[in-house]
Amino acid sequence: MAVKAHVGLKNHEVLGQFLDAASHLTGAAGAILILRDEEQWRTVATCGNAPEVRTNEITGGWLKMMLSYGDVVDVGEAMPADAALPAGLDQVVDESLICIAIRDGDAVLTGAVLMTIPLSHKRLSAAHIYGLQTHAADLYDALKMNPTHPSGGSAVIERLRLLESVVVNAKDAILITEAEPIDLPGPRIVYCNPAFLTTTGFSLDEVMGKTPRILQCEETDRPTLQKIRDALQRWDPVEVELINTRRDGTRFWVQLSIVPVANEKGWFTHWVSVQRDITERKDAEQHFRQAQLDREERVALESRLIERERIQDELSYAAFHDELTRLKNRGYFMARIHSALSKGTTDEPGAATVLYLDLDRFKYVNDGMGHHAGDTLLKSVAERLSECIDPSAVIARIGGDEFAILLSDKGHQEQAIETAKRVTHALSLPTAIDGQQLFISCSIGIATLDAQHRTAEDLIRDADVAMYAAKKKGRGSWAVFDLSMRQASIDMLVMQNALKHAITRDEFYLVYQPIFSITTETIVGVEALVRWRHSSLGIIAPDVFIGVAEDIGVICDLGQWVMRKACREVSKWRDAGGPCGIKLNVNVSGVELNRKDFALQVAEIIAETGFDARALQIEITESVFLHEPEIVAKTLEDLRAQGIRIALDDFGTGYSSLGYIDRYPIDAIKIDRSFVTRMMKHERSVAIVKSILSLGEALDLAIVAEGVETLGQLDQLRELGCPYAQGFLLSPPVLAEDVLALLVASRR
């Protein structure tokens, strides 16, 4: 329709485009555009057979009254019986008058379009109304309210046309239509790619402005078309298979996928359909059925084919997905790395960066809470990874508690590091399982594809090596691979393999460091310390292998071995005439305390060895309370119920030492050696030791000073009133066969 400008309309094309679209929707024969200029409402343009209306007759109040019933209103139906039409509009006799709101981004009414529609046109549906609202929003953007859009109401179409550079070479036919109601005349085609023209035989001029119905024929399945209509009316994506016709009348099968596309305001403006020619597949299926089946067998065979297809779909899904987490699996992940390798050359590798994740201490969730809790935790981890990682990345569960992320952008190590930070943060948040709050963490290794990687396994290996380097830095850490890590990984692998067999090969042994009464200078207890003597690796210090034992899941077996061995050896000393009343101190890790059956295991060892539970004191550090504090508290209470005492080791080095003493059943405190070492030089350390001694006296706690190495330190502790001490000055750790002599000597 030709547009007649009145006041202030500089862009005739904008209104023309709007009116063409609206006319296509409604069959409108005329229109009036009214805009607000500050507090004045002005008629700025008319077209078609629109009546002449005086500006002052159509006020903002009248428009607001009409549009209070909705943004698209039939004036004749909505206007109260006692209200009168503005002068000029009462001339509309044989037509319906439709009022369409124009609103700004804050939903404030800034104008309206009044359109005359023939009475013969059917009532506006919800889809018609939505379409008019969408066009009105584009009209607002394109007029004076948004001068940054020089293309006006065609901005969305122009943006869509930019996609042509992406889809022009697509093998599948791609079609874009306006998001108009699917009733007649139907949504118009605004774009098609060359593959569409090649497939259908139509020319561009024959397609543009038409509807997709030009592809339908009498063989096109009507229920399938209805399925499409139902989905589009709900603005849902839809995928079907159906028969279409080419320009020359030949039929062809397509797999059709349609999705709605919204603009930046959230209004659905277009539908994009992708059509894949599956005629050959359909013909093959038909020929197969005709060749193999007679009429009586056809139903049964079709049933088998459907079942086979279902199984194939399930097998296809299972082939590339992890059953528990629904993430991609190791096979798919490795295939993607192989693909990246194949795209590269010797001098220019393909783009791939792998983040390899391992959950810290996951084994103890399984052992302490059961496999159901472990599976629940793994699914929670998968959900958090999917939420915090870019959708373009590949996330896979490699196996057990190991996950991997593949980033395919070239040269984005910084992106990998940022991803690692997001992941460690996301997984550090508490997880509720079976009514308990679990705090987990992960270690992440990062490796980027380079010329040294010949296979996907090479890249995974380096990411795995970096992950173990991250574990050494502490839980919740990440590390980027470098070549120096590879030898360290080999050494660690050797140690891990050796450690798994160390108990059965009888490579562990115990030494005992006495604890002395400072007042009587007699031995009142011993601390059992485990040592590892390997045939080729030599003597390995506990601070090296204890952490590895925790990581590979043998710390609980090692702890039981130490407890049983120590109870037996101390019992032998007593049977051999050693003094009674000697306390046995055994160190226990947080991993052991997190096991719900730990107290029962200790009770079984005591019963088996005949050891007096009242002579056993378990040493723990403050770190045991950081994970599963409820389980730890219950375990400590169960141990106390057996008569076993609890000592808090390395006291004063944690964040909440006093809080732990208040909340948990603690019988003794071992002052960390760092305070003892600094006493001779720093008054603050002396003051701290004094405070700990006062605390112990007030709470009736036994106090032991660790790391006493000089006479000056011993004299200072004696002067401060410290009751017990332990250290190399008094006695280094000694073998079991030498302890009895020390015990007897200290009693003389």
Give me the DSSP letters along 58-86.
S-HHHHHHHHTT-SEEEHHHHS-TT--PP
CA-nearest of 656, 687, 693 to 671 is 693
Read off the tokens for 443: 């270690």
133 burial (CB, 10 Å; 0-12 / 13-18 / 19+) is middle
Integer Cα distance of 310 and 307 in angstroms: 5
What are the angstrom distances between the C-alpha of 700 and each of 79, 130, 230, 528, 609? 88, 78, 78, 24, 30
Query: How many Å separate Cα 102 from the centre of its chain?
Result: 41
Widest Cα–Cα separation across the chain: 126
pLDDT at 720: 94
Give the 3-state secondary structure of residue 403: strand
38: tokens are 């500050």
Rounded Cα distance, 156 and 134, in Å: 11
The token pair at 667 is 């019988």
Query: How far, CA to CA in Å, does 185 sit from each of 180, 205, 214, 378?
Result: 9, 18, 12, 53
CB within 8 A of 457, min separation 6: which ones? Answer: 334
N-terminal to C-terminal alpha carbon distance within the chain: 119
Q: Which residues are within 8 A (CB) of 628 and not within 5 positions of it... i.e. 6 or more apart?
A: 368, 436, 438, 594
**Whole-number Å distance between alpha carbons of 463 and 479:** 9
> Can you list the positions of beta strands (E) in 327-441?
328-329, 353-359, 394-399, 402-407, 431-433, 436-438
What does the pLDDT look like over 652-661, one tens digit per residue?
665 446 777 8
Task: Tell me which residues of the chain have a pLDDT lower than 50.
Answer: 146-153, 156, 346, 655-656
Give CA–CA dist 202/212, Å, rounded: 12
Residue 327: both structure tokens together: 């993430």
pLDDT at 147: 43
Which H or E run includes 604? helix 598-609
Using CB atoms within 10 Å of the CB of residue 596, give its burial: 0 to 12 exposed, 13 to 18 middle, 19+ buried: middle
Integer CA distances (angstroms), 665 to 611, 659, 662, in order: 22, 11, 8
Is the whole-model pTM more than 0.75? no
Beta bridge partners of 238: 258
Residue type, 48: G
d(CA 177, CA 207): 11
> Between the CA of residue 698 and those of 570, 579, 701, what are the distances in Å?
32, 30, 8
Q: How far apart are CA 370 and CA 86, in angstroms?
A: 77
Q: What was the pLDDT predicted at 493? A: 80
Helices (H), 293-370: 298-320, 330-343, 362-369
The SS3 assignment for 104 reads coil
Task: Identify the bridge partners of residue 385 per DSSP, sorted by sequence position.
Answer: none
593: tokens are 């305390």
Distance in angstroms (rounded) separating the CA atoms of residues 442 and 420:
10
What's the chain's Rg over C-alpha atoms? Answer: 40
Q: Is residue 96 helix, strand or coil?
A: strand
Q: Which residue has the tokens 């509009």?
A: 89
Given a contact cutoff of 8 angstroms between Cβ atoms, the answer to whether 665 and 646 are in contact is: yes
Which of 106, 114, 103 shows the shortest CA–CA distance to 140? 103
Instruction: Find the length of the chain.
Output: 748
pLDDT attached to residue 365: 80
3-state secondary structure of 29: coil
